[in-house]
Amino acid sequence: MTNDLDQLRDELLASIDVASDLAALETVRVGALGKKGTISQRMQGLGSLPPSDRKTFGQHLNLVKSSIAEAINAKRILLESAQLDAKLSDESIDVSLPVRPTELGRLHPITQTIDEAVAILGEMGFVVAEGPEIEDDFHNFTALNIPPEHPARQMHDTFYLPEKEDGSRPVLRTHTSPVQIRTLEAVKPPLRVIAPGRTYRCDSDMTHTPMFHQIEGLVIDKETHFGHLKGCLLNFLAAFFEVEELPLRFRPSFFPFTEPSAEADIGCSRDGGEIQIGGGEDWLEILGCGMVHNNVLSACGIDPDEYQGFAFGLGVERMAMLKYGIPDLRTFFDADLRWLKHHGFMPLETPSLVRGLS
Ligand code: DAH
């Protein structure tokens, strides 16, 4: 009987050995260890043996059973890893292939430009702030040191909304600067924010549209000075226009909410009628900026003897036109799908300083 068991074990081990896939191995397993398997049946037969044989036979049978189970498990691991290898070599995937460009839509160059500016300034520690497009007179003008009757109000070509019951007239914000006020009212300095968004002026010609976009920047701290403003703008503009060295010059200017105020120009060349940002003989006006006026800080309950800071305002359309060679402002708002297809950007390619802006 014992010989019979050894023979059975050898036969089973041999069929485990030749099983060439998991299904064949499973057939062997069921044939041996399944309910009606050869080993299971012998287990059931134990009871009918004389007690003297039962013990030795039983022990032997158990050894055979566990050696078969072990051999099956070992073989299964082998077959599974062979199966995985085959699948992997079959299904090779080139992870460096670009995503298939199936999207039909494109991001508008304005969206792209704002995303790029936010990516750069975000790296520089700025957080995005927002404010309403329908503003009150206080935030759009008075708190920005533009009191009623101030001549700067005329320059803003303001869209006024119908008078409210209290006699006040809301306006469509004429710039993103009111977000400076809303931020200063809500956040305790030190702070560093940017506010991208829509702005409105009642003006429409070759170079003006009634709705346009600005990005406002505001930094308030205890020892902020004009050198910080210059360094900040230089870093930002060089990163945005993707040039190593960017000539930057400041011209004295006037804004009611900054003192001193300046307009900044970047160096460019216009060889062959095409504008190249970077070196060259020419200058392009790119933004307004300055040190935040004491009156603005005071209007927001901040002590100008303790805190100072700087602010800047960028025109998004102008930045987009310069960077992406779009010659006509009004095409931004034509909603022409062919134009958008040409000048638009792939939706999933989020700008980042590490992976590239555009
Ligand atoms: N708000 C100004 C405008 O729309 C732009 C501007 C100039 C914003 C200077 C600023 C600044 O923050 O410091 O014309």
Q: How confident is the model over 165-209, as pLDDT tens digits?
A: 999 999 999 999 999 999 999 999 999 999 999 999 999 999 999
- The atom number, within ligand 1, closest to the CA of 216 reads 12
Which of the four pLDDT bands, split at 50, 70 and 90, describes residue 279?
confident
CA 166–ligand 1 middle distance (angstroms): 29
Mean pLDDT of 309-328: 95
| Res 82 pLDDT > 70 | yes
Average pLDDT value for the chain: 93
Residue bearing the CA closest to ligand 1, atom 3: 175
User: For tokens 């004429």, what's the residue?
Assistant: 174
Which of the four pLDDT bands, split at 50, 70 and 90, describes residue 45?
confident
How high is the pLDDT of residue 46? Answer: 85
Which of the four pLDDT bands, split at 50, 70 and 90, describes residue 101?
low
Pick the residue with more confidence: 46 or 300? 300
CATH of domain 109-343: 3.30.930.10
- The atom number, within ligand 1, closest to the CA of 199 reads 4
- The atom number, within ligand 1, closest to the CA of 144 reads 1
Mean pLDDT of 328-335: 95
Residue bearing the CA closest to ligand 1, atom 8: 313
CA 319–ligand 1 middle distance (angstroms): 15
Contact 105, 347 (CB under 8 A): yes
Which of the four pLDDT bands, split at 50, 70 and 90, describes residue 103?
low
Residue bearing the CA closest to ligand 1, atom 4: 175
- The atom number, within ligand 1, closest to the CA of 258 reads 13
- The atom number, within ligand 1, closest to the CA of 175 reads 4
Top mutation candidate among 257, 297, 310, 317 for ligand 1, by most atoms within 8 Å of CB: 257
SS (H, E, C) the chain: CHHHHHHHHHHHHHHHHHCCCHHHHHHHHHHHHCCCCHHHHHHHHHHHCCHHHHHHHHHHHHHHHHHHHHHHHHHHHHHHHHHHHHHHHHCCCCCCCCCCCCCCCCECHHHHHHHHHHHHHHHCCCEECCCCCEECHHHHCHHHCCCCCCCHHHHCCCCECCCCCCCCCCEECCCCCHHHHHHHHHCCCCEEEEEEEEEECCCCECCECCEEEEEEEEEEECCCCHHHHHHHHHHHHHHHHCCCCCCEEEEEEEECCEEEEEEEEEEEECHHHCCEECCCCEEEEEEEEEEECHHHHHHCCCCCCCCEEEEEEEEHHHHHHHHHCCCCHHHHHCCCHHHHHHHCECCCCCCECCCECC
Q: Give the model confidence (pLDDT) of 140-164 as tens digits.
A: 999 999 999 898 888 789 999 999 9
CA 114–ligand 1 middle distance (angstroms): 17
CA 182–ligand 1 middle distance (angstroms): 15
How high is the pLDDT of residue 17? Answer: 94
Q: Give the model confidence (pLDDT) of 117-148 as tens digits.
A: 999 999 999 999 999 999 999 999 999 999 99
- The atom number, within ligand 1, closest to the CA of 180 reads 12
How high is the pLDDT of residue 1? Answer: 56
Whole-Å CA distances, 230 to 115, 224, 292, 294, 313: 22, 11, 14, 20, 14
Quote the tokens at residue 223: 């020892």
| Res 323 pLDDT > 60 | yes
Which of the four pLDDT bands, split at 50, 70 and 90, describes residue 102?
low
**CB-based pocket (< 6 A), ligand 1:** 175, 177, 216, 255, 258, 288-290, 311-313
Residue bearing the CA closest to ligand 1, atom 14: 175
Mean pLDDT of 35-56: 88
Residue bearing the CA closest to ligand 1, atom 12: 312
Top mutation candidate among 203, 224, 226, 255 for ligand 1, by most atoms within 8 Å of CB: 255
CA 231–ligand 1 middle distance (angstroms): 18
- The atom number, within ligand 1, closest to the CA of 313 reads 8
Quote the tokens at residue 241: 């226009």
CA 280–ligand 1 middle distance (angstroms): 27
CA 9–ligand 1 middle distance (angstroms): 90
- The atom number, within ligand 1, closest to the CA of 310 reads 13
CA 313–ligand 1 middle distance (angstroms): 4
